[in-house]
Chains A and B, each alone.
Chain A
Amino acid sequence: SQQGEEDPQALSIQEGENATMNCSYKTSINNLQWYRQNSGRGLVHLILIRSNEREKHSGRLRVTLDTSKKSSSLLITASRAADTASYFCATDDGGTASKLTFGTGTRLQVTL
């Protein structure tokens, strides 16, 4: 079963705009990670946020985590055409700490 579910499924914006995508999950977690996948290629790790953190930044990325709502958001500021990709959240199940479950992803299209 899917632990993380991203929203929206697809997002189209123009270069320079901000992109926000959301992830909701069902059970308690230890941490949440975001990954990027360029079409048909391997996933690349973007950022990890622990359950006791509320916000984290990395370059143009800002991730928030609300454990009370079981949700996270990924904000990409000043988007570029090169940000065009699918973005996935991944969570553990809060217990075994040995398995990550990925959502179905948000497809981001950044146009010039």
Chain B
Amino acid sequence: EAQVTQNPRYLITVTGKKLTVTCSQNMNHEYMSWYRQDPGLGLRQIYYSMNVEVTDKGDVPEGYKVSRKEKRNFPLILESPSPNQTSLYFCASSLVTSGGPIYNEQFFGPGTRLTVL
């Protein structure tokens, strides 16, 4: 089954404790991205990757890191989480065809609900 998986689905942690949220897709998509969703603010893009070893900042990259060492995986790293990073996080992927990934359907993972105390 074609899908995007995220782990963990739920996480409660404390300020300053490094954490990683994993994202994996089995559709051989080149493009992957991370979003956070907060009430009243919709989805905001954190980072995106056009292909292996190619990443770029989205609208709200501060406090986050990503890496793209393999095509299928795109982990989101919070080196020193703070309470303002409490949010619902989504990973998404899509094909990159002529014109770019935004011409294609984005496939979303089920989300990771993160609480930072």
Contact = CB atoms under 8 A, between A and B. Distances in A.
Interface of A: 1-2, 30-31, 33, 35, 40-45, 48, 50, 88, 90, 92, 96-105
B81 interface: no
Given A40-B88, A42-B111, A45-B107, A98 B40 contact: no
Contacts of B41: 104
Interface residues of B, number: 32
B111 A102 contact: no
Interface string B85-117: 000101010000001111111111111010000
A2 B42 CA distance: 9
A41 B110 contact: yes
B23 to A, nearest CB: 12
Interface of B: 4, 31, 33, 35, 40-45, 48, 50, 56, 58-59, 88, 90, 92, 99-111, 113
Contacts of B31: 98
A44 B50 CA distance: 21
B42 A105 contact: yes
18 contacts: A30-B102, A33-B105, A35-B106, A40-B88, A40-B113, A41-B110, A43-B43, A43-B106, A45-B105, A45-B106, A48-B104, A50-B103, A97-B99, A97-B102, A98-B31, A99-B45, A100-B102, A101-B45
